[in-house]
Structures are given as C-alpha cells and as structure tokens.
Structure 1
C-alpha cells in the first residue's frame, strides 16, 4: 500500500504566506501542514509519493531525509487529476490519495478495507465545497461542485482510496479551459461504474485555504499539546498551562507565558515579555522587552524586540519590527474583519490581525488595521498607520512637515 500527497498548487488565497513557500509548508502548531499529514500515514504505507511543483525545493529540502518519502514533479498540466496521474508508474495497485493542505484527526486505517473510498465531512457551508450525496449504505451516488442549492451538508474532504483504475479514468477526462485536469471528473465516472464508499470523518478537519483557517487549525492543534519544558528559564518567569519550550530556547527574567503555546529551539523571549495562549514562536525568533504576542504564528528568524503588540496574526520569516509596532485585531462594531482574497473583499472572523510575508521591516510607531496583508520584502517607515494591503517589494513612508519657529524670550 502506497500513498500520494498532492502538494503542487500555489495557494493563491493564502498570499502573501505562499509567496516564498508552497501552502503545505505553512507551519501550524510548530510544523508544516505536510508534516502533520505524513505523520498520519507513515505507519500505514510503504511509500509516500509527494507530488510537487510550485516552490518544490522547499518541500524536497525539508523532507529529503524521510525514509518513506519520494518526490514526483507535476508537469505543465495543472489540476488534482493530473497530480494523481503523475504517480501512475510508481504506486502499488491500491493506494491512498490525500490533499496536501488539510489538517485532520481521524485514523485512516478504516479506508484500507475498501477498494474505493472518499472521506466526507459534515459542514455548515457545503455550498463552498464539492458536495457529496450518499445512499442508505453510504455509497456515493452524486457529487456537486459548489452548488447553490446543495443536496446534502457532506463535502469531499480530500482523502481517497483508489486502485489503478482511477488512472485510466483520469486519462479519459478532458482538460478544462483553465488548462487543468481535475480528479472530480474521474470520480464522477468512477461512481457510475463501481461502489465508492463515503467514509464520514468524525474528528477535527480543516481545509486550510485562507489565513484565518491557518490560525483556527493552529488553535485546535495547540489545544492538544502537553506541557514540556526543556529550554532555559530565568528568574521570576511565570509559565501557566500546557506550554512546550524546546531545548536552546531562552525565557528571560520576569516574562509570562500562558499556554497552550509552543516556543521552538533558538527562540528568545523577554525580559518582561508576555506570550498569550495559542501562540507559536518558530525557530530563532525573538520577542523582547515589554512586547506581547497573542494567538499568533511568528515564523523563523523574526524579531519583535520591544514595546510591540501582535494579536491574531501570522508573521512570515526574517521580519523585524521597530519599537512600538502595533497590530489591531478587532473592529469597533465587533463585526467580522474583512480581508482581500483573490481580488474580493470577504468576511473572515471576529478577531484577525495582519497577514505578513517574509523579510518585512517596520520603523518605530507603526500601526496596522485589522485584516491588512503585507507582501514580502517591504519596508514600512516610522509613524505610519497602515489601513490597506501592501504589495510585495514596496517601501511605504510618509512625510511630515516640521515647523521651527524662533521664540522671542
């Protein structure tokens, strides 16, 4: 038994987080989405074939020493069907297929007894997904693509069990106007010819497609961690709840950490810093004197030195915040924060700070309004209030007129 994990896509809705990394490499609860998936299947299969394309070197470099992992590059044709077809000459007769951008809890052993099976999940908004209709024996009888009037509240959860017949069906599907070959088209034909079991997922599941999905999944996974303190703890530090502090991390004097939270190796916190629940500080980060971080993911090598506040935000790698950089995360009217996603203004969640790419620097006294996205490689000058998205490779600053008037004493 083998598995195929689909990791070739760009993750457009998650920009700027995906400007320098593929979506499966976004860290959640201290490790990439893809690592969470691999850990769910590595004991069930002989080989794990990861289909890569966009920013493939990031995935290959991270997982190159995993003994069961092998890499296959998707060609010019895009789409999930084409991604599966990439593994045709490598996998066993029966195999699992998993989307590389989902977080899920259910054990997949139940899939192995079926020749054909698809995971389905009950959701409140099925119209945003591929809707699955089951018969009384839980066989799939119909699939609807983002229907206005869905026939059920069960959706395709992105986990499949196939045999080699699926390759023949994929090859017979037409390439769409967008130049993609989708797995759904082949599945629709498969359910006409074979019994395909719909397996209902009972545990947590998240299709990580938008920035707030990342934060929501991060909260859920952090709620499952156990306390594990291995780093250096200086005097008068208060640690409450389930907190992971890895070796070579340092918590300096008079800091407070409230779990659940993860502090990765090489991170430095304090003195007098405040790390609030559902925060992850990745490797070699720094949260300094009198800075506060709440329910956020701070990626590798990012520095938040002093007198700053970061709440409900995702901050990329190699960023540096000037003194008193502040992220707002709540509207006055308590309504969901609006965010630009692929050119459309959409409602997110009640509390959402900023989504920042890599290599961003802020000057002193910079403030961000809720839901703002900042592209990679930006500089933001002192005393700026950022109330709109900033494209990558942009220098933002303002000119204040200083008036000097002679006093006649």
Structure 2
C-alpha cells in the first residue's frame, strides 16, 4: 500500500509566511509540518507520493533523498480531488491520503483496518470545517462544508483510506463553483455507493490554517522533546528543563534558556540573552546581547542582535532587526488580538505578536502592535510604531522636521 500527501496548496491565510514556501514546509518544533507526516507513514507504506505545485522546488529539494518519497506535480486544475487524481497512474488498489498541512498524534492503525475510512476530529467550532454525520455503526452518512448550523461536532480530519474506485468518481466530477475538483465531492458520491467508516482520531490534531495555529502546534511538539545539549556552551549559562541545543550551535556566556526550547545547528545565542519557553531558533539564527524571545518561531538566518523583545511571534528567514525592536503581544483589554486574514479582520488568541515574512529589515527603535503582519522584502525605518499591516516590498519611514537654533 502507498500513501499520497497533498502538498500543492498555497496557504493564503498564512501569508506572508507562505510567500516563499508552501504551507507544508512551515516549521513547527524545528522541522517542516510535512516531515512529521512523512515520519508517521514511512513505516506503514511502500511509497509516499507528494503532490506538489506551489513553490514545489522547496519540497523537492528538502525530501529528494528520502528513499520512499516520490513527487507528482498537480496540473492546471486546483482542488484536493484533482491533486489526488494527479497520482492515479502510480497507485494500486488501496492507499492512504493525508492533507499536507495537519499536525496529528494518531498512529493510523485503526484507519488502515477498513476498506474506506476517514479520520474524524471532535471540535468546539465545527462550523469552520467540513462537518460529518455518522450513523449508529459509525458509517459516514453526510458531509457538509462549513455549515451555519452544524449537525454534529465531528469534522473531517484530513486523513483517509480509500480503494481505487474513488479515482473513477473523481474522473467524472465537474469542477465546483470556484473552479476546483474537490475530494469531499467525490466522498459524497462514494457514500451513496458503499460504506465509509468514520474513525475518531486519538490525541492532538491541528489543521494549520492561520498563524496562531502554527504557534499552537509548535507548543504541542515542544512539550514532547527531551533534553539534549550538543552545542558549545559558554560560562555561566543556565539551561532549565527540556532544551535541545544541536551540534554547532553556540550559547554564549550569561545566557538563560528555559525549556521547552530548540536551538538548531549554526544558531548563536548571547551573551546575556533570555530564551523563554516554547521558542525555536532555526538554523544560523542569531539572538544577541540583552534580547528576549518568548513562544516564537525564528526562521533560518534571521538576526536579532541586541536589546529586542520578540513574543508570541513568527519571524521569517533572513530578517535583520535593528537595536530595540519590540513586538507587543497583548491588548490592554485582554481581548483576543485581531488579525487581517484574506481581507477580513478576525479574532485570534489572547497573545499574538508580529507575523513577518522573509528578508525584512528594521531600523532602531521599531515597535510592532499585536497581530500586525509584515510582508517579505520590506524595510521598516527607525523610530516607527507599526500598527497596520505592511505589504511586501515596501519601505516605510518617517521624516521628522529638525530645527536648530543658535544661542
């Protein structure tokens, strides 16, 4: 049996983080989301087919040496159904299908016992997902996408076991109103013809659709790490709890790290740096003198040299922060931070800092209000309070009138 992982989507709700990488390649706990999925299935299947499209080279370059991974490019038609159909010529009589943007704990063994099955998740807010209704024997009898009045609190968990006849149904489907061939439409047809077992997934599950989902999954994964110190540790360094310091990382003197946290290879931390729980510093990052990082993901190559505070934030690759760059992460009224998602302002979580793309530079004394997004390749001039989203490739600065009077 083989597995198909659907990795072709862009992830527009996660912009600007997905401007230069597909959503499955966003890091949580120090690795791409997709890597965790592959680790879950690699011992259960013969081949793993990654269906790619948007920024496909990022995925191909990362996984090209995996012995079981093969790549299938999705064609011109969008949608999860067409993504699966793209792999048709490689698949046998039965196969696993998994969305490439979920973080989950379930070991999948119960799903594999059935001819056709779908992993289900019980949630408090089902109207935001595909809602599933079961009969008394746990067979799926109905699926409804984002209903205003959900008939259950069980949702589609994005994990499936299918027989090959699902591909015949997909072949005959017409694109939906938004021009996509949807896998859920094929499942609705399959329900009419045969049974699909609904299997409640065990343990943690998260569909990474918004930036704060990424931070939530990052915290979950870090809770499970074990202490492992391999890097170079300077004098008077305090490391508390479960912290991973990879080989070739450097922790300079008088630095404090509170776990759980991950410091990747090539990272340099300190001196006098404070790393607080649920922080990941990816490869070749630098956090310097008197800077503090808390509950944040700092991507590869980013530099936060001195006197800065980054809290509850996600910072892209190769950013460079000027002295005293500060992220606010909490409203005065303690209400959820509001974030612009695809042109609509939505409530997120109580604490959320800045969401920043790649290659952003800040001048000295720059502050970001909670929930602000900054697009890639932007420059933020000195002495600025950024209280609105910044589009990509933008230079923001202010000109103060300076007067000089001779005495």
TM-score range (shorter-chain normalised) is over 0.9
Residue of structure 2 equivalent to 1:257: 257
Residue of structure 2 equivalent to 1:174: 174
SS at match of 1:178: coil
* 1:355 Cα offset (Å): 0.2
Residue of structure 1 equivalent to 2:324: 324
Distance in 2 separating the partners of 1:137 and 1:230: 52
**Relative to structure 2, which stretch is displaced further, 142-151 or 300-309?**
142-151
* 1:177 Cα offset (Å): 2.7
Task: Determine whether 1:347 maps to 2:362.
Answer: no
Distance in 1 separating the partners of 2:31 and 2:299: 10
Q: Deviations over 1:44-64 (max 9, x none)?
A: 000000000000000000000
1:8-407 superposed matches below 5 A: 8-407=8-407
SS at match of 1:217: helix
* 1:68 Cα offset (Å): 0.1
* 1:112 Cα offset (Å): 1.4
SS at match of 1:61: helix
* 1:318 Cα offset (Å): 0.3
* 1:110 Cα offset (Å): 1.5
SS at match of 2:98: strand
SS at match of 1:127: helix
SS at match of 1:89: helix
Distance in 2 separating the partners of 1:217 and 1:388: 26
* 1:255 Cα offset (Å): 0.2
* 1:391 Cα offset (Å): 0.3
Q: Deviations over 1:211-269 (max 9, x none)?
A: 00000000011011110100010000000000000000000000000000000000000
TM-score normalized by structure 2?
1.00
Distance in 2 separating the partners of 1:310 and 1:18: 20
SS at match of 2:133: strand
Distance in 1 separating the partners of 2:191 and 2:175: 20
Residue of structure 2 equivalent to 1:7: 7
* 1:406 Cα offset (Å): 1.2
Q: Deviations over 1:16-58 (max 9, x none)?
A: 0000000000000000000010000000000000000000000
Distance in 2 separating the partners of 1:327 and 1:233: 28
Distance in 1 separating the partners of 2:109 and 2:231: 37
Distance in 1 separating the partners of 2:109 and 2:70: 22
Aligned pairs, how many? 407
Any stretches of 5+ residues in structure 1 without a counterpart? none
SS at match of 2:127: helix
* 1:144 Cα offset (Å): 1.1
Any stretches of 5+ residues in structure 2 without a counterpart? none
* 1:343 Cα offset (Å): 0.2
Q: Deviations over 1:112-142 (max 9, x none)?
A: 1110000000000000000000111111011
SS at match of 2:89: coil
Runs ≥4 in structure 1, deviation > 2 angstroms?
A: none
Distance in 1 separating the partners of 2:395 and 2:152: 49
* 1:202 Cα offset (Å): 2.0
Distance in 1 separating the partners of 2:136 and 2:179: 37
SS at match of 1:247: coil
SS at match of 2:351: coil
* 1:66 Cα offset (Å): 0.3
SS at match of 1:149: coil
Distance in 1 separating the partners of 2:203 and 2:156: 15
